[in-house]
Amino acid sequence: MKKNDLATLRQKEVKDLEKMLKEKKADVAKTEVNTVAGKEKNVKKANNLRREISQILTLIREREILKKEETK
Protein backbone atom coordinates (compact mmCIF):
# COMPACT_ATOMS: atom_id res chain seq x y z
CA MET A 1 0.00 0.00 0.00
CA LYS A 2 1.37 3.38 -0.95
CA LYS A 3 1.69 6.24 1.50
CA ASN A 4 -1.08 8.14 -0.26
CA ASP A 5 -3.41 5.17 0.12
CA LEU A 6 -2.57 4.93 3.80
CA ALA A 7 -3.31 8.63 4.22
CA THR A 8 -6.74 8.19 2.65
CA LEU A 9 -7.41 5.20 4.92
CA ARG A 10 -6.69 7.36 7.95
CA GLN A 11 -9.57 9.63 6.93
CA LYS A 12 -12.13 6.84 6.67
CA GLU A 13 -14.60 5.79 9.35
CA VAL A 14 -14.15 2.60 11.38
CA LYS A 15 -17.16 1.00 9.68
CA ASP A 16 -15.56 1.54 6.26
CA LEU A 17 -12.27 0.13 7.51
CA GLU A 18 -14.00 -2.97 8.86
CA LYS A 19 -15.76 -3.46 5.52
CA MET A 20 -12.43 -3.18 3.69
CA LEU A 21 -10.94 -5.63 6.18
CA LYS A 22 -13.54 -8.27 5.30
CA GLU A 23 -12.92 -7.78 1.59
CA LYS A 24 -9.14 -8.05 1.99
CA LYS A 25 -9.47 -11.25 4.03
CA ALA A 26 -11.64 -12.78 1.31
CA ASP A 27 -9.10 -11.69 -1.31
CA VAL A 28 -6.30 -13.38 0.65
CA ALA A 29 -8.21 -16.66 0.71
CA LYS A 30 -8.92 -16.49 -3.03
CA THR A 31 -5.33 -15.56 -3.81
CA GLU A 32 -3.90 -18.41 -1.76
CA VAL A 33 -6.16 -20.92 -3.52
CA ASN A 34 -5.25 -19.52 -6.93
CA THR A 35 -1.54 -19.57 -6.08
CA VAL A 36 -1.65 -23.21 -5.05
CA ALA A 37 -3.65 -24.06 -8.18
CA GLY A 38 -1.08 -22.27 -10.32
CA LYS A 39 -3.52 -19.67 -11.63
CA GLU A 40 -1.95 -16.72 -9.83
CA LYS A 41 1.34 -15.52 -11.31
CA ASN A 42 2.11 -12.99 -8.58
CA VAL A 43 3.10 -15.13 -5.61
CA LYS A 44 3.72 -12.09 -3.40
CA LYS A 45 0.14 -10.87 -3.74
CA ALA A 46 -1.03 -12.77 -0.64
CA ASN A 47 1.80 -11.28 1.43
CA ASN A 48 0.96 -7.78 0.24
CA LEU A 49 -2.71 -8.31 1.11
CA ARG A 50 -1.75 -9.53 4.58
CA ARG A 51 0.35 -6.40 5.06
CA GLU A 52 -2.61 -4.23 4.07
CA ILE A 53 -4.82 -6.14 6.51
CA SER A 54 -2.37 -5.48 9.32
CA GLN A 55 -2.26 -1.77 8.45
CA ILE A 56 -6.05 -1.58 8.53
CA LEU A 57 -6.16 -3.40 11.86
CA THR A 58 -3.57 -0.99 13.23
CA LEU A 59 -5.67 2.00 12.19
CA ILE A 60 -8.77 0.51 13.82
CA ARG A 61 -6.85 -0.13 17.03
CA GLU A 62 -5.43 3.40 17.03
CA ARG A 63 -8.95 4.77 16.84
CA GLU A 64 -10.05 2.58 19.76
CA ILE A 65 -7.16 3.79 21.88
CA LEU A 66 -7.81 7.43 21.02
CA LYS A 67 -11.48 7.00 21.86
CA LYS A 68 -10.58 5.56 25.28
CA GLU A 69 -8.17 8.42 25.93
CA GLU A 70 -10.84 10.99 25.09
CA THR A 71 -13.30 9.50 27.56
CA LYS A 72 -10.81 9.70 30.46
CB atoms within 10 A of CB 25: 14
Summarised one tens digit per residue, pLDDT across range 19-48 is: 999 999 999 999 999 999 999 999 999 999
Pairwise CA distance, residues 59 & 16, whole Å: 12
Overall domain count for the chain: 1
Give yes or no for residue 71 having a pLDDT over 90. Answer: no
Q: Please say whether the beta carbons of 1 and 51 come within 8 A.
A: yes
pTM for the predicted model, two decimal places? 0.89
3-state SS of the chain: helix, strand, coil percent to 5?
A: 80, 0, 20
Query: By residue range, what is the domain housing residue 65?
Result: 3-71
DSSP code of 12? S
Selection from 54, 53, 55 nearest residue 3 by Cα: 55
